[in-house]
Amino acid sequence: MYAKIKKGQERTTLESFEFKGLSRTVSDNKWLSMFSYPNPKKSRSSKRYYNKYYQAKIFDGNFELANDLAFEIPFEKFEVKKTILGNDGSLFLLVDKLILRKKSKLSRKAAIFVEDRFILFVNSETGNVETLKIELDNNDLTKELIFKLLKNGNIVVTGLTMDESQKGVTGSFSIIFDKAHKEVSNETNYFKDNFVKSTWSQKKQSKEAKSKKSKSKKDGKTKAEPKFYNYYIDNIVELSDGSIVVFAEQYYSYTKTVTRTTSKGSTTTTTTYYYYNDVIAINYDADGLLKWEKIITKSQRSVNDDGYYLSYFVLEDEDSDELNIVYNEGKVAVKVQISPDGDLFKENIIEFSDERKMRLVPKLCSKLDDGIFLYAKSKRHSKIGILSF
């Protein structure tokens, strides 16, 4: 392991490098390993350090070094969210530019906030960095973003918009940059009330309607519009026509602490509950325009296990453009098929017996060339297998 040291820069030790992970190109067989440096020694100072200097090593299919890039993040405070390696060896980084500011007028402590979000393009030959600022046309607040380098060389950035409270999710957006890194599309889609309420029970819908009517009569004000809560965007898939399907899942957790006092003393029990619920699937066409949006309903809950058996994974059939999401529903592993037009078809694929109480671990399953690698686990046993459709 080594790094080029710029003139005037202090030499760093082996321990000062911080490994940033390994990634692969979209189609060509190249690999990227990336390091940041220097990594300052621990200090008693409360100052937070940001390693601006990066070393990117690009390897061919035989893991022979093909390129060695040194570049610098052009911000003082930042967080690198994701890195993509292009087929030509260029790098694309999704970066949050951070800022320190006080939490409130009554608080003297400063907190870190996201000031702006950027795509950084690092030239594969020169190491020069170009910044592409991510801005919505209507200046909406944005939640977590993801981006993808498309097969035609374009870049698509997508995510969820938030209300002013930064709690409720109001819609989604798609921004497309062409090969020359010029923004060619910037579309925001706001969720309709009936789409949000489709996940509600009949009892909740009736209660909301009565509350809204009562509030309107009382003071002439209407209740806030319904919104999705605790949704996070986590998957993006490109289809053969250049359109994309984006997935966002609702998940949250909370911790409850109970203290019981008896004649023998006090005992405290802490329990954490994990919830992974509905998934929203959104399809934007090759021009960034909304085609359809669907909700895959599911309800998953666990206790004190970090949600180990919860969530889902996505499979793509490149021949038909059909997408499948697989997850646990009680003791049964189910598959929901999504057609290119957004039609949904649900079926059971594995029914686990009560004998060993096994369940699928969706977070550890993955796609193979001709099927799915499956991993299931119980308290004492594990199973692996391949499922072919």
pLDDT at 21: 60
Is the confidence at residue 97, as pLDDT, over 60?
A: yes
CATH at 234 = 2.40.128
Residues 172 and 301 in one domain: yes
Residues 369 and 256 in one domain: no
Q: How far apart are CA 145 and CA 156, in angstroms?
A: 11
Q: How far apart are CA 236 and CA 316, in angstroms?
A: 11
21 or 167, higher pLDDT: 167
Residues 152 and 296 in one domain: yes
> Would you place residue 106 in the very low, low, confident or very high pLDDT band (cuts 50, 70, 90)?
low
Is the confidence at residue 245, as pLDDT, over 70?
A: yes
Most confident of 52-56, 101-105, 211-215, 289-293: 289-293
Question: Of 310, 337, 367, which one is at a domain's C-terminal end?
Answer: 310
Residues 173 and 231 in one domain: yes
The length of the chain is 389
Q: How far apart are the first and last CA of the chain?
A: 43
Sequence-separated (6 or more) residues with CB below 8 Å from residue 90: 121, 122, 123, 124
Q: CB–CB of 162/140 below 8 Å?
A: yes
**Does the residue 232 lie in any domain?**
yes
**Does the residue 219 lie in any domain?**
no
Question: Of 292, 310, 328, which one is at a domain's C-terminal end?
Answer: 310
> Would you place residue 41 in the very low, low, confident or very high pLDDT band (cuts 50, 70, 90)?
very low
Q: CB–CB of 161/142 below 8 Å?
A: yes
How many domains does the chain contain in total?
A: 3
> Would you place residue 144 in the very low, low, confident or very high pLDDT band (cuts 50, 70, 90)?
confident
Sequence-separated (6 or more) residues with CB below 8 Å from residue 312: 249, 276, 279, 298, 325, 326, 327, 362
- Pairing assessment for the beta strands 382-387 and 371-377 based on DSSP bridges: antiparallel
**Does the residue 118 lie in any domain?**
yes
Instruction: Determine the structural domain holding residue 186 and report its residue range.
Output: 135-191+227-310
* CA nearest to 277, candidates 252, 300, 254: 300
Q: How far apart are CA 149 and CA 92, in angstroms?
A: 8
Residues 25 and 102 in one domain: yes
Question: Of 133, 154, 173, which one is at a domain's C-terminal end?
Answer: 133
**Does the residue 19 lie in any domain?**
yes
Convert the pLDDT of each residue in 294-312 to its tens digit: 999 999 999 999 999 999 9
Q: What are 276's strand-pairing partners?
A: 251, 300
Residues 70 and 147 in one domain: no
Residues 172 and 283 in one domain: yes
Other beta carbons less than 10 A from residue 204's beta carbon = 12
Residues 156 and 283 in one domain: yes
Q: What are 313's strand-pairing partners?
A: 326
- CA 16 to each of CA 11, 22, 93, 218, 371: distance values in angstroms, whole numbers, following the listed order: 10, 18, 22, 64, 42
pLDDT at 325: 93
**Does the residue 216 lie in any domain?**
no
Residues 126 and 113 in one domain: yes
pLDDT at 105: 60
Peptide bond into 362 cis (omega under 30): no
**Does the residue 46 lie in any domain?**
yes
Tell me the pTM. Answer: 0.82
Residues 237 and 165 in one domain: yes
Is the confidence at residue 216, as pLDDT, over 70?
A: no
